[in-house]
């Protein structure tokens, strides 16, 4: 059995995620934090190395986090990171068995974000802009709702990713996986207007020329800036729901699924690897499902006279 100290084991795993799995930087940082917290617990509470941890040690760590007030969702994410790490060590023959394979984690409630009512979405998207900032924000809102993008995907967009001729957008999603998305007519119109406005910036002001969306300093717009601008527009327009990127993405998926009932298409548009993620991510009102069932299922027809 190979002998690696904890630092080398974790470092090797993170390099594997980066080089072989090609995961995003933020995802790798999340793994690093999760494993770092386990390592500190094992060293302090168990006085041993992370490689020599047993299933009981890891279960104690999970219980410790739960008692400390961490949410079940966070604990499940940590548990997944830990399982992947020890599976990596097992495949590399650093350890014989995966001690995290059978650990128990608290159940999570499906607390999905609330969607934005279509009328509220329309209210938000009816905004018209005259200034650089207003035109940019309007376009960001249109692209978010038209394409159902993640926040990281939107801020990472470059000029070359937009094809107005084909009404399409090339997006780099999780795991550096590309997907091509259709752009709705309203979003396309906003993009045309924004690109004209963007090109009027003084050349010397632009330091991130390849970026599609820029700050007023000419640099690529940050994720935090986008979040603040969306929240500000929601307040300004008196939209009942708090506006943030993930809620717009969720609304996009829900509204599209309610109209099409095509789960596979929504899965492709969202960039989900597993359809199970899409089923959790989107939700349909039971009455709506019952109505579709009654209309479509051959054994659901009931005699109205009985």
Q: Which residues are catalytic?
A: 150, 174, 246, 249, 272, 281
Are 19 and 175 a contacting pair, CB within 8 Å? no
Are 250 and 241 a contacting pair, CB within 8 Å? no
Give the whole-angstrom CA distance, residue 78 versus residue 81.
5
Where do the H-state alpha helices sit in 42-131?
55-67, 72-91, 118-125
CA nearest neighbour of 256 among 264, 241, 123: 264
CA nearest neighbour of 249 among 285, 282, 275, 221: 282
Mapping DSSP to helix (H, G, I), strand (E, B) and coil, where does residue 167 land?
Answer: coil
User: b/e map of 116-137 (b: 16 or more CB within 10 Å)?
Assistant: beeebbebbbeeebeebeebbb
- Tell me which residue has tokens 């499902």: 289
State the pairing for strand pair 162-163/168-172: antiparallel
Give the whole-angstrom CA distance, residue 64 versus residue 84.
20
Direct distance between the N- and C-terminal alpha carbons of the chain, in angstroms, rounded to an integer: 73
CA nearest neighbour of 144 among 176, 183, 101, 108: 183
């Amino acid at each position: 059995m190979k002998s690696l100290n904890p630092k080398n084991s974790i470092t090797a795993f993170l390099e594997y995620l980066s080089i072989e799995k090609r995961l995003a930087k933020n995802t790798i940082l999340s793994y690093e934090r999760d494993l770092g917290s386990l390592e500190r617990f094992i060293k302090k509470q168990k006085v041993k190395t992370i490689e020599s941890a047993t299933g009981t040690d890891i279960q104690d760590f999970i219980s410790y986090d739960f008692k400390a007030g961490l949410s079940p969702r966070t604990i499940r994410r940590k548990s997944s990171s830990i399982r992947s790490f020890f599976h990596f060590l097992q495949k590399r023959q650093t350890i014989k068995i995966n001690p995290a394979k059978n650990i128990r984690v608290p159940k999570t409630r499906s607390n999905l974000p609330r969607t934005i009512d279509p009328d509220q979405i329309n209210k938000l998207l009816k905004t018209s802009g005259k200034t650089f900032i207003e035109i940019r924000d309007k376009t960001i809102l249109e692209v978010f709702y038209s394409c159902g993008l993640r926040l990281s995907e939107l801020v990472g967009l470059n000029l070359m990713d937009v094809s107005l001729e084909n009404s399409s957008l090339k997006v780099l999603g999780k795991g550096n996986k590309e997907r091509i998305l259709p752009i709705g007519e309203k979003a396309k119109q906003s993009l045309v207007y924004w690109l004209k406005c963007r090109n009027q910036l003084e050349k010397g002001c632009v330091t991130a020329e390849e970026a599609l969306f820029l700050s007023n300093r000419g640099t690529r717009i940050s994720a935090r800036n986008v979040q603040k601008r969306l929240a500000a527009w929601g307040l300004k327009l008196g939209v009942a729901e708090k506006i943030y990127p993930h809620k717009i993405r969720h609304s996009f998926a829900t509204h599209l699924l309610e109209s099409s009932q095509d789960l596979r298409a929504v899965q492709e548009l969202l960039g989900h690897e597993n359809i199970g993620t899409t089923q959790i991510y989107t939700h349909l009102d039971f009455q709506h499902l019952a109505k579709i069932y009654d209309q479509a299922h051959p054994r659901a027809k009931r005699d109205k006279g009985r």
